[in-house]
Amino acid sequence: MKLPGSLRMLVIFAIVLFVVSPIVLSSREPGPKTGQPHPEESYPNTPDGLHQLLDDLLLAARNDDQTKLRSQIAEMEIPNYENWFASTFGQEKGQRLAGTYGESLQATEMQFEMLCTELAKQKGEIAIEKVDTIKRYGALAGPLDEYMANWKKTDDSAGPDSQSIGVFYFLDGKFRANGSLHDVRILSTSKGPLVPAKLISRVQPVYPEAARQLRIQGTVSVNVIVRKDGTVTILNVGAGHPLLAPAAVSAVQQWRYTPTTVNGEPVDVQTKVYVSFALSNQPSQQK
């Protein structure tokens, strides 16, 4: 059947639209990030790759998807870490670093999860720096791709204006978290040899009765400033169950330290402390 000219042109236009539309749509700007990379995708060994991974961790925390968040953090463990540290940093230094890493691994993953939960409540910017490992460590026994990630808060929510997210290595095709470094920010322009603060008086928190009756346990992270005189100023609660947080704050603000010194002079420092509550034993603290 021969179609009228105007109808024939309409049919041709519909066919062209059907064929071309998928190409046009695929060239649009990407929409909001979903944090769900395709199965065949990975995070490349670049600052942008680490940035995307951290974005996805914060998205999982923001969505309260603890299963996904913990799974992603667990995948960031250094595989066969004892051999890797030795082959990268040399036998003597590698053994020392591996021992520290292994001893703190469980606590570090918990603290990293809490940090993601804290940052997910804020608006901020992630800054990634590729480390010059030769300048930092000198000659190494093996290759090392290392990155440092920091957070800068851009809203008026409670808490420090900036925090370290962590140090990350890239090996075996994935980013791995190195949790052996404890973030302490010196609130001074002083330069010189640093002697870190030491906790000399620790007050145990009183387990809240409501939390005990509900069998709530866990850890609370608290952002603090350790002053020049060794006293503690509370900035805010980073993360933790709200029924446990007041008891943690009440205890921490009574702690006392020897001051951090730079070139022999006391300085204020910003840091993060952790207070753990367990029903099976007395509450304990982790610095």
Element (H, E) at 145: none
**What percent of the chain has pLDDT above 70?**
82
pLDDT in tens, 91-118: 999 999 999 999 999 999 999 999 999 9
Both tokens of residue 197? 């603060």
Stretch 130-143: mean pLDDT: 94
Its pTM surpasses 0.75: yes
Position 163 scores a pLDDT of: 92
Statement: residue 210 has pLDDT above 70: yes
Position 242 scores a pLDDT of: 97
Statement: residue 17 has pLDDT above 90: no
CB 187 within 8 A of CB 225: yes
Kindly indicate the confidence band of residue 3, based on its pLDDT and cuts at 50, 70 and 90. Answer: very low
pLDDT in tens, 77-86: 999 999 999 9
pLDDT in tens, 154-183: 999 988 999 999 999 999 999 999 975 567
pLDDT in tens, 232-253: 999 999 999 999 999 999 999 9
Position 185 scores a pLDDT of: 86
How is residue 46 annotated by DSSP? S
CB 11 within 8 A of CB 1: no
Domain spans of the chain, in order of start: 47-178, 185-286
Rounded to whole angstroms, how far apart are CA atoms 83 and 88? Answer: 8
Could you please state the CATH topology (level 3) that the domain comprising 185-286 is classified under: TolA/TonB C-terminal domain (3.30.2420)
Position 96 scores a pLDDT of: 94
Distance between first and last Cα of the chain: 84
